[in-house]
Amino acid sequence: MPNKISQGFTVWFTGLSGSGKTTASHLLAKRLRDAGACLEVLDGDVIRTRLSKGLGFSKEDREENIRRIGFVCELLSRNGVIAIVAAISPYRAMRDQVRTNIQNFVEIYMDCPIEVLVGRDVKGLYKQARAGEIPHFSGISDPYEAPLHPEVTIHSAEETEEEGVEKIWTTLHTLGLISCDRVQSQNIV
Amino acid sequence: MPNKISQGFTVWFTGLSGSGKTTASHLLAKRLRDAGACLEVLDGDVIRTRLSKGLGFSKEDREENIRRIGFVCELLSRNGVIAIVAAISPYRAMRDQVRTNIQNFVEIYMDCPIEVLVGRDVKGLYKQARAGEIPHFSGISDPYEAPLHPEVTIHSAEETEEEGVEKIWTTLHTLGLISCDRVQSQNIV
């Protein structure tokens, strides 16, 4: 039966739409999987379908959405699984509340100037948001509160995705959450 | 880092209110924990607070609640964690749908005649339900569809809790999900 005690943790990407959260989260997931880790990527769209159907984008609904993601991260992390979240999660207090419930919580701030995001606008969402066609759009018609003390800040307008993930990797090492030369799981027979 | 591949599974207790789901689930959890397993008990009340706030007891809401619990079980099970659920989960089709998403799904039917439950009525809920004070009460004013082929049926009016858990334990062995003489988790260094 499953019987290891190993160290789970949660890597939580926060940042505006288009700041590179999803790409970085999948790159990190690949690197961790290649190293043999058990993990789940909690993707915003999947969560909205499977955990938060019916919730919208008001402050209250966003907070409830984050609470639920946080609950799932808590369950995974405390059982030795790595949870990786990519969610705008614009409210600082809510992220901090999630943090208090998770022993190893690593917050990654994808920092990108709004003018860069508006300039890129890969999905055309910023144009729509500025035209008032998408209400509650973080950074345009809704607040985004950057973390004050994230474990890692990635300046995604200046750093490549690989550089960003390398910074995260180093931090996970420094925090003692990953290690290349030893296995942190223990079996109890 | 967490890096075991081990066999997770989901034990899903279904049955009417008062049929002994919660007691049996905790007894099973204790026995599994004592054997060194990593597990989560997904308790109905906790789930209603942390995952399904706002959902009621209509068929649609109950189904959505079960879908969400199923999603969490899926995430835990496929990462080697045991998920134990105690939820009335009255609709057969919905339980069967959850089953299709989880590789090792063990359904436990807590079978207890309604007249026994009404006679016991530990929480006084049946009295209230029969007086029409609790709408959508499974078995009284709402359907309960018993499983057709559960992995285990516990006749909770006749069997002790210990006997019931012993039957589950035997079934988990038979299914190859637990084993006393070998560790099923593998480390990949």
Residue A165 has pLDDT above 60, yes or no: yes
Residue A3 has pLDDT above 60, yes or no: no
Q: Are B53 and A64 within 8 A, CB to CB?
A: yes
Q: How far is B52 from chain A (nearest CA, A)?
A: 8
Q: Are B80 and A2 within 8 A, CB to CB?
A: yes
The string of pLDDT tens digits covering residues A79-132 is 999 999 999 999 999 999 999 999 999 999 999 999 999 999 989 999 999 999
Q: Are B5 and A53 within 8 A, CB to CB?
A: no
The string of pLDDT tens digits covering residues B99-147 is 999 999 999 999 999 999 999 998 999 999 999 999 999 999 999 999 9
Where does residue B61 rank: exposed (0-12), middle (13-18), buried (19+ CB within 10 A)?
Answer: middle
Torsion sign over Cα A53, A56, A61, A62: positive
pLDDT at residue B89 in the model: 95
Phi, psi of B108 (to 5 degrees): -115, 120
The string of pLDDT tens digits covering residues B61-110 is 999 999 999 999 999 999 999 999 999 999 999 999 999 999 999 999 99
| Length of chain B as a residue count | 189
Q: Are B40 and A82 within 8 A, CB to CB?
A: no
Give CB contacts under 8 A, 24+ apart, made by A154-161.
Answer: A154/A20, A154/A24, A154/A108, A154/A109, A154/A110, A154/A111, A155/A111, A155/A112, A156/A15, A156/A19, A156/A20, A156/A24, A156/A110, A156/A111, A156/A112, A157/A112, A157/A113, A157/A116, A161/A20, A161/A23, A161/A24, A161/A27
Residue A184 has pLDDT above 80, yes or no: no
Comparing CA positions, the residue from B115, B83, B104 lying closest to residue B13 is B83
pLDDT at residue B6 in the model: 59
The catalytic site residues of B sit at 89
The string of pLDDT tens digits covering residues B10-62 is 999 999 999 999 999 999 999 999 998 999 999 887 898 999 988 999 999 99
* A81 φψ region: left (φ > 0), alpha (ψ -120 to 50), beta (else): beta
Task: Give strand ranges (E) for chain A.
Answer: 4-5, 9-14, 39-43, 82-86, 105-111, 152-155, 186-187
Single-letter amino acid code for the residue at A26:
H
Is A89 one of the catalytic residues?
A: yes
Mean per-residue pLDDT for A1-20? Answer: 80
pLDDT at residue A189 in the model: 28
Q: How far is A64 from chain B (nearest CA, A)?
A: 8
Interface of B with A in 17-76 (CB under 8 A): 32, 35-40, 50-51, 53-54, 64, 67-68, 71-72, 75-76
- Using CB atoms, which residue from B4, B40, B178 is nearest to A185? B4
Q: Are A4 and B6 within 8 A, CB to CB?
A: yes
Q: Give the angle subtended at the CA of B73 by the CAs of B69 and B79, to the nearest 5°.
A: 155
A124 touches chain B (CB under 8 A): no
**Catalytic pick among A89, A141, A156, A185:** A89
8 A C-beta contact, residue B41 and residue B25 = yes
B189 touches chain A (CB under 8 A): yes
Residue B188 has pLDDT above 80, yes or no: no
